[in-house]
Chains A and B, each alone.
Chain A
């Protein structure tokens, strides 16, 4: 089925380790997003890419970097993981050109634990 694919689904890291979360969409969407979800706080925007070749910080960017590899792929990197980055990470994509009429499509999430 078409949609947003995230890998891995689960990951345990030690403090200080690095890793990259992968996200790919096959809907020809221009805009892509990374969110983190923590209990009681809803989803918060980490970084977004309005179009291929551009990336910008969201609400909680500290400790993360992103790469928009091409139109399909948007990766999130933790250079030196900290326990505060234990969370569920969601990638999303949307049409471009203003508020998407059909909304945003979310991936299945990556559950990351930093010990």
Chain B
């Protein structure tokens, strides 16, 4: 059974600081995704990581993938208040003959001025 675990689950940080969210998964994956969710809203796609060693950056967010360690990281550089949200990683894998997306629990990020 594919399991996806994120840590930390809650993160409160100061503006201007750097931090990393970790995403571990238990079995071979085809793709790894990072999503952002604002309160009461749907999921916004941030990154799609396709292969080992993949690194993608958008503004103050950078995501990487290590398929050998089954680990992805979402790094936040010089955090700003607008990045406050819940971040999910999700792993796409062929399970019982069908492609399925399995989510981590989410990391609720609060950035304080």
* A interface, CB within 8 angstroms of B: 31, 33, 35, 40-45, 48, 50, 56, 58, 90, 92, 94, 98-104, 106-109
Residues of A within 8 A of B88 (CB): 42-43
Cβ of B92 and Cβ of A45 under 8 Å apart? Answer: no
Q: List 11 A-B contacts (CB under 8 A).
A: A35-B103, A40-B9, A42-B103, A43-B88, A43-B103, A48-B100, A92-B101, A99-B30, A103-B31, A103-B45, A103-B48
The secondary-structure label for the interface of chain B is strand
* B interface, CB within 8 angstroms of A: 4, 9, 30-31, 33, 41-43, 45, 48, 50, 88, 90, 92-94, 96, 98-106
Residues of A within 8 A of B41 (CB): 108-109
Residues of A within 8 A of B104 (CB): 42
Residues of A within 8 A of B42 (CB): 90, 106-109
Give the distance to chain B from A49, nearest Cβ to Cβ, in Å. 10
Bound complex: CA A92 to CA B104 (Å): 17
The secondary-structure label for the interface of chain A is loop
Residues of A within 8 A of B45 (CB): 103-104
Cβ of A103 and Cβ of B33 under 8 Å apart? Answer: yes
Residue of B48, B98, B102 touching A101 (CB-CB under 8 A): B48
Cβ of A41 and Cβ of B99 under 8 Å apart? Answer: no
Known contacts: A40-B9, A43-B88. The answer to whether A100 contacts B99 by CB under 8 A is yes
